[in-house]
Amino acid sequence: MADLSFCLRDLSAGVKVLVCLCVTVRSRFLKNWKKYPIIFRKRRFLWYNVPIKDAPGECRKGWGYPMSKKVKRNVIVGQSGGPTAAINSSLAGVFRTAKDRGYKKVYGMIHGVQGLLEGRYIDLSEHIRTGLDAELLKRTPSAYLGSCRYKLPDIYENKEVYEKIFKILEDLEIDCFIYIGGNDSMDTIKKLSDYAIVTGSDVRFVGCPKTIDNDLALTDHTPGYGSAAKYIGTSVKEIIRDGWSLETSKGQVIVVEIMGRNAGWLTGAAALSKGEDCDGPDAIYLPELPFDVPAFVQKCRELLEKKRSIVIAISEGIHTADGTYISELGNATEYVDAFGHKQLTGTARYLCNVLSQEIGCKTRSIELSTLQRAASHCASRVDILEAYEVGGAAMKAADEGDSGKMVVIQRLSDDPYQAGTEVKDVHKIANDERLVPRNWITPDGTYVTNEFITYVRPLIQGDVGAVMVDGIPRHLYVPGYQELL
């Protein structure tokens, strides 16, 4: 006796219906196993050689066949959301794996799905011609293809957008669609894969994680975070050193504003500066807890009684108990992106103004801003290698039949650090946020614990040697390409 779980999708009515059946197969039925062979792989399964007459509804056309068993055509890949120092390493991984697995062309969307809708794309083979090109791409910060923050409408709101995208994919003979991005980008993968199910398209849609914010659900961490954390720890250490060199009569407070929006993973990385040769920041404030401005002023007052120069790391997303961002107290920035995210800037400047008025000390506000996500000269080797592997894993998953999935990193051990990849349902990831656990923040809410440091430190290890030309790092360059962006 054996248990066999499988799924049937009836899409003939235009509605996704998922029926899970658990069949007990007794020995007298095993003689018919050749009629419905199923491949099991890494805790997931793929339909293979299911008789076309048994496939329901519109999904009979090409339904259920792994790409590895079809004549392979082309792949398209895009980048979306905030750039990182590692995002192009994932792009290199997608390209290399697609070529190794026999796909003819690998197209790159110019500025993500927004550019695709405008018919803007390139053949990556014209950009990655040699092994040196691939290595330069891995060391090139920002999004080589150009990024976007384009929110796909719901299918029922604007079906024409989806019809246009799928017509372009059909014209380009696309089998696999890989999207490198964060939370909002996974929303795009979710919607496109759902539309493919509804219409019976056999294009596979797989997400490749990327975000310095490190806030994607179901993955241990995200490519891009390790390099940004390394830059933050290094920069905060240098800022602390600089603060020691100056002496003022009433003391000095330096407030360093760090990205991350509602998640404090990046801000917590400021604690990496602490070591035998550096005390680290004097306080760290994450957005996971409400921020009290008067309590912050009192904390700085007490610290100045002990030290002439203090450094505070704060997240751009810290907020009061009623949810008001501190940045909104100091200015009236009205910009909101397509996903409803407010632009967060000026938090450190506002707090420095408050400290100057309340204490009368010298203050300095520092926004690391885009430097923390574009600092390829300070990239983590672990991060760049993992980004490349995750890009390859996304392509592999699509080739083997996965769709509506995202590759995740699973940590196996901290010391020695070991990690692997698997795929998860993108519906459980898109539009969700993974925050720093409360027990990784000190009880008074002004620092991170040793557990946080143990989690982050393996991700910043190693360096990536830059290709230097005239004393400056060289990036991948194709004449005339930048004018297209």
213 catalytic, yes or no?
A: yes
Roughly what angle, to the nearest 10 degrees, separates helices 225-244 and 381-399? 160
DSSP 183: H
Letter string b/e over residues 285-309, b meaning 16 or more CB atoms within 10 A of that residue's CB: bbbbbebeeeebbebbeebbeeeeb
- How far is 359 from 365, CA to CA, in rounded Å? 16
Query: Strand 405-414 and strand 417-425: pairing?
Result: antiparallel
What's the helix, strand, coil split of the chain in %, to 5? 40, 20, 40
Q: Supply φ then ψ for residue 125, to 5 degrees.
A: -65, -20
- Residue 222: both structure tokens together: 């995200």
Beta bridge partners of 468: 473
- How far is 157 from 84, CA to CA, in rounded Å? 32
- How far is 224 from 91, CA to CA, in rounded Å? 13
- How far is 476 from 460, CA to CA, in rounded Å? 24
- Give ∠ CA 389-394-399 in degrees, rounded to 5: 120
Element (H, E) at 77: strand 74-79
Given the residues 175, 187, 213, 282, the one annotated as active site: 213
Active site residues per annotation: 213
